[in-house]
């Protein structure tokens, strides 16, 4: 399930930019809106799907229905011939897809617990297959010659429908019986009570930086493969492995993720949550700067190293940030607070990063000769550096090695 869950996403997420700019030759501002669809869907759909799964329908059945609907939507993409319709189709596909990420966790946890297994110990080796699925999809899309073709959406759609059908044979994950003696308010029912955390200066600051870092993540997802593919317009690089296998080169980032996940416990214990999050921000600076100076020739090592530091940039903030929320909030609103963290990163952060970057690239870094990739990546690097400096100065958090020992789930 985890393998196919992220295979669906990996089939097109990294290569949609190549399809957009090389195949359709649509504008950058409109492309930025495409990546905002994940953010828009992440703001409300996971919460709604969670309520439905908690109250009315088995999680595995809802999961299957959403994947089938999402797959059918993706199959429509090759018929789209204008950017506006493309936006609405992808938005609909993301409305179906984004809640399945949280549902897959619920299904996994439920199955493990029902079989007497330890979630903390046994889930990570299962979840890593999601990253492997994402990598496998990237390789298949590239090696089959479809990184600039609409076929990438057909691959994703067929696999999504297959996963949806498979889901109906997964272990049952029925709605949990609610406590009828305890009446919940409207805000508690929809997880909105977590918003009161914004009254706390430290938490409000953390959520603001979560949004800013969420924006950085979208930049490499949106433009990384397009950047590498663009080297084909330079004579000395047009036949390089970077151009031929740009998506495979980008998959180094996902491979790096699997390694840095294993390093997180050591870094957290030694340096604490704040320093680990700060390391992530510095890694984002390196990610963008190495892209700015890298090329398929003598600068190939920079492109590869950029992929390696991505694992640190992505994992260190997302996981340490989640642990910060876990150790800093009341147990009654902890799940809602985690949802708020995801909303700020994958929701508002994704929208902010996607839309603003698209407009800036169109206005300042796009000419008739193409895109000024050095200027684009250095602008992103400066952005990440400013965020890191502000975080180091403004965010106060004392390292307590015992705080992580209190986490029971």
- So what's the pLDDT on residue 407? 43
- So what's the pLDDT on residue 1? 94
Cα four-point dihedral sign 376, 378, 381, 382: negative
CA 101 to the chain's CA centroid: 10
- So what's the pLDDT on residue 408? 41
| Spatial distance between the Cα atoms of 334 and 346, rounded to a whole number of angstroms | 18
The pLDDT tens digits of the residues spanning 31-86 come to: 877 877 888 888 777 767 767 776 788 888 999 999 999 999 999 999 998 989 99
- So what's the pLDDT on residue 152? 92
- So what's the pLDDT on residue 406? 46
Cα within 13 Å of Cα(245), Cβ side:
12
Query: Residue ranges of the domains in the chain?
Result: 1-174, 191-409
- So what's the pLDDT on residue 302? 96
- So what's the pLDDT on residue 168? 94
- So what's the pLDDT on residue 87? 92
Domain 191-409 classification at class level: mainly alpha
Question: What CATH number should be reported for the domain whose range is 1-174?
Answer: 1.20.1250.20
Low-confidence ranges of the chain (pLDDT < 70): 47, 50, 54, 119-121, 176-195, 326, 330-339, 399-409
- 0.85 surpassed by pTM: no
| Spatial distance between the Cα atoms of 317 and 131, rounded to a whole number of angstroms | 17
- Do 1-174 and 191-409 show the same overall fold? yes
- So what's the pLDDT on residue 355? 81
| Entry field: residues in the chain | 409
For 27-31, the CB contacts below 8 A with 24+ separation are 27/83, 27/362, 28/358, 28/359, 28/361, 28/362, 28/366, 28/371, 29/358, 29/359, 29/361, 29/362, 30/83, 30/84, 30/87, 30/358, 31/83, 31/222, 31/358
Listed residue (201, 158, 10, 135) closest to 72, CA to CA: 158
């Amino acid at each position: 399930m985890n393998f196919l869950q992220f295979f669906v996403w990996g089939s097109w997420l990294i290569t949609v930019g190549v399809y957009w700019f090389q195949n359709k030759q649509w504008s950058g501002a409109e492309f930025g809106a495409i990546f905002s669809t994940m953010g828009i869907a992440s703001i409300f759909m996971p919460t709604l799907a969670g309520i439905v799964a908690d109250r009315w329908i088995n999680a595995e059945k809802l999961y299957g229905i959403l994947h089938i609907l999402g797959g059918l939507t993706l199959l429509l993409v090759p018929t789209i011939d204008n950017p506006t319709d493309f936006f609405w189709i992808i938005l609909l596909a993301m409305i179906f897809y984004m809640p399945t990420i949280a549902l897959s966790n619920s299904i996994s946890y439920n199955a493990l617990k029902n079989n007497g297994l330890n979630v903390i110990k046994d889930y990570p080796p299962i979840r890593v297959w999601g990253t492997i699925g994402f990598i496998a999809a990237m390789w298949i899309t590239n090696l089959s010659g479809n990184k600039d073709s609409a076929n990438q959406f057909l691959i994703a759609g067929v696999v999504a429908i297959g996963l949806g059908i498979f889901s109906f044979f997964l272990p049952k994950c029925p709605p949990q019986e609610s406590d009828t003696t305890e009446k919940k308010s409207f805000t508690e029912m929809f997880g909105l009570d977590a918003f009161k955390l914004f009254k706390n200066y430290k938490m409000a600051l953390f959520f603001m930086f979560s949004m800013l870092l969420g924006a950085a993540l979208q930049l490499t997802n949106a433009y990384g493969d397009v950047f590498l593919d663009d080297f084909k317009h330079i004579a000395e690089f047009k036949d390089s492995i970077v151009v031929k296998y740009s998506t495979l080169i980008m998959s180094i980032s996902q491979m790096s993720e699997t390694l840095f996940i294993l390093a997180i416990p050591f870094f957290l214990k030694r340096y604490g949550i704040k320093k680990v999050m700060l390391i992530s921000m510095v890694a984002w600076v390196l990610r963008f700067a190495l892209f700015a100076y890298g090329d398929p020739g003598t600068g190939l090592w920079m492109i590869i190293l950029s992929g390696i530091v991505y694992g640190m940039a992505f994992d260190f903030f997302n996981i340490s940030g989640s642990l910060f929320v876990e150790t800093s909030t009341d147990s009654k609103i902890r799940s809602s607070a985690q949802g708020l963290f995801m909303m700020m990163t994958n929701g508002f952060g994704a929208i902010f990063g996607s839309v603003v970057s698209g407009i800036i690239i169109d206005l300042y870094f796009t000419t008739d000769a193409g895109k000024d990739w050095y200027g684009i990546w250095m602008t992103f690097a400066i952005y990440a550096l400013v965020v890191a400096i502000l975080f180091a100065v403004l965010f106060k958090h004392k390292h307590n090695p015992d705080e992580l020992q209190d986490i029971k789930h």
